[in-house]
Amino acid sequence: MSWTTGTQTEALGVGTANGSAYNTSTTLTTISPLTGGGYCPANFWLPSYGISKSLLVKASGVLSTTSTPNLTLAIYGDTAQNTPSGTPLATTGAVAQASSVTNVPWELDCVISNVTTGSSGTFLAMGIVKVYTASTTIQSIRISSSSANPNTTTTLSTLSAYYIELAATWGSNSSSNSIQVYSYAVLGLN
Amino acid sequence: MSWTTGTQTECLGANNAVGSALSSFTTAAVMSPVTGAAYLPANFFLPSYGIGKSLWVKASGVLSTTSTPTFGWAVFADSALGTASPANLTSGTAGVLATTGLITQATGTNMPWELEVVITCITTGTSATFLSDGTVKVYTASTSIQSLRMSSSASNPNTTNTIGTGGTTAAWYIELAAACGTSSSSNSIQCYSYICMGLN
C-alpha cells in the first residue's frame, strides 16, 4: 500500500452459500448466490472519480450437459437482486458446450472498468470463462463487454444502484443441462 | 481485513480504454493502455519495508498471427510512460521484470490471451532485485490452450532480476509490452484489460 492512488481494494460481495442449480430452463436466471452479489450504490462511479474505477468478478462451479447445448454466461448490474435484464456488463454470448459432461469444473474472471459516468455511463469488460471438460481438456470462452475487436463498451447508467450478479441462459431445456456456482466474489479494485 | 500485516491491497492502475494494437513490429513496445499503467514513486519499495512488497499484474486481450511467428509478453518497469526500455524481452535484462521470451505461436485470428504474474521485491536500493512468476495463456482455439511461463528468469529454480538504473530509489511505470519475431500486419496483439495491484 503506497497510498499513491488514495484507494483500496474491497470485497463488495462474497458468496456464503452455493448458488441455486440452474437447469430445466431456457430463461435468463441469476446463478450467483444472493450473498455474493456485490452491491454498488448509486453513483458508486462518481462523476468526478468514477472513471477507471474497476471491478473484478471471480466465480467457479460445475456444469453438466446432455448433447451440446448452448450456454450464455453474463454479468449484470441488477437493480434488484436476482432480476437480470437489459444489457449485461459482460457476456459470453451463446456458446455450444461439450457433450454429455457431468459436474465438470468451470471458472471465470472478468475485469470491468468504467469508461464514462452519468446516465449513459459506459464500461469496458474483458475476461475468460474456462470449462474443464475433462481433466486434461479445456474449453475457453471470452466474456466481454462486446464481441468486437477491438473491444467496445457497454452502456449502464452510473446514477442508479446495482447488484453485480452472474446469470446464465441454457439454449436447451433439460434437467441434464445444469450449472451451479460454488464460489462467487466481486472485488471493488479501487 | 485482519490488520495482521498492517498492509492493504491497492489498485495502482486500471485501464479505461483498450490498448493500441501492435502490428508490423518486432522490437518490444508497450501495449497496456496508458491509463492502466501503475506508477510507483521513488522508494515505493522502501529500504525498511520494501522487501516482500509485491505487485500482481493481470491482463487480457487478443492475438492474431499469420504462419507461426514468435511472440512474447513482458512486464516492464519503464521510466517514461509508454516507452518500453530496453526494447527487448530478454530474460535477465534490467527492467524486464517478468518475461515469456519469444515463443512460437499458433496461427489464428483474435485468439484470446490472458496473463497473471506476481512480482516481489527481494532486495531494495540501487541494485534492487525482484522475483516474479506467472503464466500467459493463449486460447488458440476454443478447446486448446498454449501456456507460457512468465518470470524473472528462465532458470529452475527461478532467480531474480534487477529493475533498472536507480533501482528502487527511482520512479517507475509498470507496463505490459510485447514483441514479435516476424514483422507483419497480420501479426497483431492488443490488450483489452490491464490492472496492476499493489498487494501489500
| HEC string for A58-110 | EEEEEEECCCCCEEEEEEEEECCCCCCCCCCCEECCCEECCCCCCCEEEEEEE
Task: Please report the domains of chain A, with CATH numbers, ordered by start residue.
Answer: 12-188 (2.60.120)
Mean pLDDT of A21-49: 95
Mean pLDDT of A171-186: 97
**What phi and psi, each to the nearest 5 degrees, are found at residue B36?**
-90, -10
Q: Do A7 and B11 touch (CB under 8 A)?
A: yes
| DSSP assignment letter at A22 | B
Q: Do A133 and B44 touch (CB under 8 A)?
A: no
Task: Give the mutation candidate from A123, A136, A144, A151 for the B interface (greatest B CB count, under 10 A).
Answer: A151
- B4 pLDDT band, cuts 50/70/90, is confident
Which residues are bridge partners to A54 per DSSP? A113
> Percent of chain B at pLDDT above 70?
100
Interatomic CA distance for residues A31 and A184, integer angstroms: 10
pLDDT at B157 over 90: yes
pLDDT tens profile A101-124: 999 999 999 999 999 999 999 999
A141 touches A95 (CB < 8 A): yes
Q: A187 by DSSP, 3-state: which?
A: strand
- B105 pLDDT band, cuts 50/70/90, is very high
Beta strand A137-144 pairing with A54-64: unpaired
Mean pLDDT of A171-189: 96
pLDDT tens profile A82-102: 999 899 999 999 999 999 999
- Residue written as cell 518475461? B99
Mean pLDDT of A148-157: 98
Q: So what's the pLDDT on residue A6?
A: 84
pLDDT at B88 over 90: no
Interatomic CA distance for residues B27 and B178, integer angstroms: 8
Residue of A nearest to B200 (CA): A1
Q: B106 by DSSP, 3-state: which?
A: coil
pLDDT tens profile A61-71: 999 999 999 99
B63 touches B179 (CB < 8 A): no
Report the C-alpha dihedral over residues B82, B85, B89, B90, rounded to 10 degrees: -170
- Among B residues 31-90, those touching chain A with beta carbons less than 8 Å apart: 35, 39-41, 44, 58, 60-62
pLDDT tens profile B45-84: 999 899 999 999 999 999 999 999 999 999 999 999 999 9
Given CB atoms, is B12 within the 8 Å cutoff of chain A? Answer: yes
Q: Do A126 and B60 touch (CB under 8 A)?
A: yes
Sign (positive or negative) of CA dihedral B83, B84, B85, B88: negative
Q: Which residues of A touch B12 (CB under 8 A)?
A: 2, 4-5
- Give the count of beta carbons closer than 10 Å to the beta carbon of residue B103: 17
Q: So what's the pLDDT on residue A44?
A: 96
B103 touches B70 (CB < 8 A): yes
pLDDT at B139 over 80: yes
pLDDT at A154 over 70: yes
Given CB atoms, is B143 within the 8 Å cutoff of chain A? Answer: yes
Residue of B nearest to A148 (CA): B110
Q: Which residues of B touch A133 (CB under 8 A)?
A: 143
Q: Which residues of A touch B34 (CB under 8 A)?
A: none
| DSSP assignment letter at B47 | T
A92 touches A168 (CB < 8 A): no
Q: Which residues of A touch B39 (CB under 8 A)?
A: 4
Interatomic CA distance for residues B20 and A62, integer angstroms: 36
Q: How far is CA A83 from CA A75, A146, A153, B142, B191, in A?
A: 12, 21, 22, 30, 32
A84 touches A74 (CB < 8 A): yes
Q: Which of B2-11, B57-66, B96-105, B154-163 has the lowest mean pLDDT?
A: B2-11
Of A4, A127, A140, the CB nearest to B12: A4
- Among A residues 30-59, those touching chain B with beta carbons less than 8 Å apart: 51-54, 56
Mean pLDDT of B127-153: 95
B181 touches B52 (CB < 8 A): no
- B7 pLDDT band, cuts 50/70/90, is confident
Interatomic CA distance for residues B7 and A2, integer angstroms: 9
Q: Of residues B174 and B34, which shows the higher confidence score? A: B174
- CA-based angle A57:A100:A23, to the nearest 5? 55
pLDDT at A5 over 90: no
Cell of A121: 455511463
In chain A, the N- to C-terminal Cα span, in Å, equals 12
